Amino acid sequence: MNSAAAALSKVPAVTLTFWVIKIAATTLGETAGDTFSMTLQLGYLLSTAAFLALLAVLVYAQISARRFYPLLYWATIIASTTAGTTLADFADRSLGIGYAGGSLLLLALVLASLALWYRSEGSIAVDTVNSPRVEAFYWATITCSQTLGTALGDWAADAGLGYGGGALLFGAALALLALAYLMTSVSRVLLFWAAFILTRPLGATLGDFFDKPPAEGGLGMSRPLASLVLAAFVLGCVLLLPQRPAAARAPGGRP
């Protein structure tokens, strides 16, 4: 790997820091999405349109950037997870297809995005995200997975687990993936995307646990306050914890 190729990578290396910030960012996405759609009463459709517009601007900036900028990358992740919150709520509730229907529809979109990416580039590995076309696949898949994760989190909570039980379920699933990473030779690419998807419902259930009223199984925290605390935590992590860009390689190798 030469330095010129490595400099092309604009996504972070997958480290413990990455996962800490990702979980916090997805939790923020849940509370921030609910703040705009429910607390400020903008509704799911208007909130989704606003966050998708912001996401489009940030994705364009991310693709146009010449190197990895942690603040830009994580701002784009937060926009995608917040848009995913309101979009999933719109699909599940406003369209009336329910949590199961929304989850299945969104799972199909995630799989379709990954399949198109794989067919086009021969790999869906993060270390091949080093060209505008691959970045477009990357962000499309991320946005679909963030939306899917929201629907899965709501589905688990509504199925009787509650928000705390849902968080424990998805946390346990992530622990199993970590064990598989440490103790097996299962594809690292497969494990990454499985973990990436599951961190979103973990964040969704944690966010709902913080801000839903006690009568609904939550702690009853103010959504704006919870969002501000989470935003400060994410910003502190991005600024203080070490991050480096993923080592770039040309796509084409099969995962």
Please give the pLDDT value at position 92.
Answer: 63
pLDDT at 130: 80
In a domain, 195, yes or no: yes
Percent of the chain with pLDDT over 70: 91
- Residue 96 binned pLDDT confidence (cut-offs 50, 70, 90): low
User: What is the Cα–Cα distance from 128 to 38, expressed in whole angstroms?
Assistant: 39
- Is 3 inside a domain boundary? no
Query: Is position 67 within any domain?
Result: yes
Task: Indicate whether 150 belongs to any domain.
Answer: yes
Residue in the block written with tokens 């701002």: 75
- The predicted structure's pLDDT at residue 162: 81
Residue 220, SS3 per DSSP: coil
Whether 205 shows a pLDDT value over 90: the answer reads: no
Classify residue 227 as exposed, middle or buried by CB count within 10 Å of its CB (0-12, 13-18, 19+).
buried
> What pTM, to 2 d.p., does this model score?
0.87
Distance CA 197, CA 201 (A): 8
The pLDDT of residue 44:
83
What is the total count of domains within the chain?
Answer: 1
- Between 249 and 114, name the one with better pLDDT: 114
Confidence of residue 249 (pLDDT cuts 50, 70, 90): low
Domain that holds residue 196: 15-238
Which DSSP letter does residue 249 get? -
Decide: 69 and 125 in contact? Cβ < 8 Å.
no
Contact 139, 145 (CB under 8 A): no
112 occurs within a structural domain:
yes
- The answer to whether residue 8 sits within a structural domain is no
Domain-embedded: residue 181: yes
pLDDT band at 206 (very low <50, low <70, confident <90, very high): confident
The answer to whether residue 10 is domain-embedded is no
Average pLDDT over residues 6-17: 78
